[in-house]
Structure formats: structure tokens, C-alpha cells
Amino acid sequence: MRITSFMIFNQLTRSLQRNMEDFAKLNSQLASGKRIEKPSDDVIGMMRSLDYRLSINNTEQYKRNIEEANFHLQFTDKVLGSVSDSLLKLKELLSMGGNDQTDENRSFYSNQAAEWRDFLLELSNTKLRDRYIFSGYKTDQVAFSYNSSTCHYDYNGDLGKIQIPFDTGATLPSNIQGSEAFSLTLKGPLPTELPDGTPLNYTQTTDSSTGVTTITVEIGNAGDPDYDTFSVSNLMDVTNVLSYAWQYKDIDGSDLHSDAAIREEMAAHRLMALSIPLDDAGNQVLQVQAEIGTRQVHLNDQKTRLDNTALNLKNALSKTEDADMEETTTEILKTDTALQALRESASRLISQSLLDFLK
């Protein structure tokens, strides 16, 4: 082939250009640490890394959700711990003061019970970040409030479970409804008479829209002078009845009976009849706490899994899009050597001409 000056020059500039391009590309990879700097560098790798990044992003969000849910559950658990303690104290009170007859002592027990009642009400209306935690969906309303016309405590919330997404398509409630924690349902075989032989009957009805169970207690036979009936639908109600019973009074403040002896007997019956619901309430709170524990274990397991997943994804992402530094550096050295050799040969080729030798 006939070689002309232009061909040599052209070949040279193209080779130099190509080398410089390689050089620039490798340098830019080294500077950014990324092998893929635009989709066309590696379309499949790019799609993979986009996938990884979205998955990592999702995972991080789920982890934030789990933290939030855990925080709620932990807080709820603390509150329920206090409820549990209060119930124990109440039981103590009941076993100590069940048969005490002195007015002074009874008034002390009554006051104590009233304090526990108010404390329980306070607990039921706990707020976390401006939300009432036991009101279901109705987080802007106090869970329980005293109804002065019925003299009962009413549940204002609903059955709403605030579901928190913690994985693709998986959710778990972060709240405990007031009707679950503070309302009580009696379980198992119920006694039909008090220890002294007085007939006893518990009737339970559950409101399906709120989940609140109302327990109607009947003591004695209808028509008897000491026949007594009352209803409770939550822990505050129970404590309230106790508090008044120590003063021989009904919850509306009226005397249980005009006759002092009957009044005392009725009050004693009430205290006895309430010891079973109080026991069950304690168990129920423990069960709810266990439920919270289960959810927390579940969430923590999930969090560990997500941590692992995120780590795997990050490794995969790094493998896909990061430049191998050693390899890139070696490549740069190779390109540099090639460039130097090219310059050397170029300087010889270009500088030589027949004209130099014609004298």
C-alpha cells in the first residue's frame, strides 16, 4: 500500500485521540468511583443498579416505619405496665379492706380506690405526639371520659387498628384499642354464688362497633331486700364501684340501701363480686402486653432481616456500579504506557523526511 504523509498524520491523530478518550474515561471513573456514569455505559447494569437502589430505598423506609411502630408499641407497653401495677395494688386493697368495718378505714380504702380510678383514667387517656393512643382511629378524642348522667365511664374510641407497612404488602397494627386494654371480658366458668352462698350472676354483652364488653352483675334473688345489680364496662367503672361500695354507696352517690345492715351486706357483696373481674382484668392486660411483645419480636425480626437485605443490596449495588479501583488504576497505567509509546514513535515518524537527506 502506498503510504502518504496525510495517512501517517491522520493515523497518528486518531490513535492519540482514541488513547486520550480512554484516558479521560478511566480518569473520570477513578474520580467518581463509578463504573456506570450514564445508562448507555452498561444498560443492563444500570437497570440492575436502579432496581437495587429502589429496593434499598424501600427497605430504609420500612425500617423507619418499624422504628415508628416499635416506638408506639414500647410506649403502649409501658403504659399497660402501669395499668397492670395499678390492678395489683387494687387487688391488695381489696383483700386488705374487704371486711374492714371501721368507717375511718373504709373511707381510706374508698379514697385510695378513687385515686387508682383517676390514675387508670389518666393512663387510658395517654397521649403520644398529640395522639390519644387508646382511641383506635379517633386519635383526637380522649379514649375514656366520665359520663355524669349515667355515672359510668364511656369509651369514645373505635376498633381502628393503625396498620403500619413493614414489608411489601405486610402490615401490623401499632396501636392497642382502649376497648381491648381497659374494657374487660370474663373468661372461663363463672361462679354462680358468692362465698357466703348468695346467688351471683354475670351477664356480658359486647358492643360490636366499639368492642366494649358490659358486664352486668346480679347479686341475690330478685325481690330480696338485699338484691343488687350493677354494671361495669371498664376498669374505671370497676374501681369506681369499689370506691363507692366502701362508703356503702352506689355510683350515683346514693346509699345502697336505707337500712344500714342491708347496706353493709350489699357493699360487702359488691366487693366480693368484683374480685373476679379484677383478676380477669389483670390477666387480660398481661395478655395484651404479651400481644405487644409478639408484635415487637416480629418487627425486630423483620428489622434484622431488612438490615441484612439492605447490606446485601448495597453490596450488590456496589459490585454493579462501582469501579474496581485496582483494575481502573492498572488500566490507566496501561493506557499511559501506550500513549507514551505512541508519542515516541510519532515523533520519529513525523520528523523524518527525505528532504532532510537531500543536500
Binding site for another protein (CB under 8 A): 1-7, 10-11, 14, 34, 36-41, 43-44, 46-47, 49-51, 53-54, 57-58, 61, 64-65, 68-69, 129-131, 135-140, 158, 160, 162-165, 168-169, 171, 174-175, 321, 353-355, 358
Nearer to another protein, 24 or 260 (CB): 24
Shortest spacing between CB 27 and another protein, in angstroms = 17
What are residue 153's DSSP bridge partners?
A: 146
Calpha distance 196→198 (Å, rounded): 6
DSSP 3-state of 263 = helix
Q: Are 212 and 237 in contact (CB under 8 A)?
A: no
What are residue 128's DSSP bridge partners?
A: 131
Rg (CA), the chain: 40
Nearer to another protein, 2 or 348 (CB): 2
Calpha distance 168→176 (Å, rounded): 23
Shortest spacing between CB 338 and another protein, in angstroms = 18
Calpha distance 12→349 (Å, rounded): 10
Nearer to another protein, 1 or 222 (CB): 1
Shortest spacing between CB 235 and another protein, in angstroms = 22
Looking at the chain, list the stretches that DSSP marks H as alpha helix, in order from N- to C-terminal side. Answer: 5-32, 43-97, 103-124, 178-181, 235-245, 260-273, 275-321, 325-351, 354-357
CA geometry: angle at 113 spanning 107 and 114, to 5°? Answer: 90
Shortest spacing between CB 287 and another protein, in angstroms = 23
Nearer to another protein, 67 or 224 (CB): 67
What are residue 213's DSSP bridge partners?
A: 206
CA geometry: angle at 208 spanning 207 and 211, to 5°? Answer: 70
Nearer to another protein, 222 or 354 (CB): 354
Shortest spacing between CB 160 and another protein, in angstroms = 5
Shortest spacing between CB 318 and another protein, in angstroms = 14
Tell me the backbone φ, ψ of residue 171, rounded to 5 degrees: -135, 165
Nearer to another protein, 166 or 248 (CB): 166
Shortest spacing between CB 186 and another protein, in angstroms = 29
Shortest spacing between CB 312 and another protein, in angstroms = 19
Nearer to another protein, 55 or 283 (CB): 55
Calpha distance 181→143 (Å, rounded): 11
Calpha distance 145→125 (Å, rounded): 9
Place of cell 478518550: 21
Nearer to another protein, 130 or 326 (CB): 130
Q: What are the CA-CA distances from residue 277 to residues 198, 216, 272, 289, 297 (Å)?
A: 17, 11, 10, 18, 30
Nearer to another protein, 77 or 255 (CB): 77
Shortest spacing between CB 231 and another protein, in angstroms = 26
Q: Are 249 and 256 in contact (CB under 8 A)?
A: yes
Q: Are 96 and 140 in contact (CB under 8 A)?
A: no
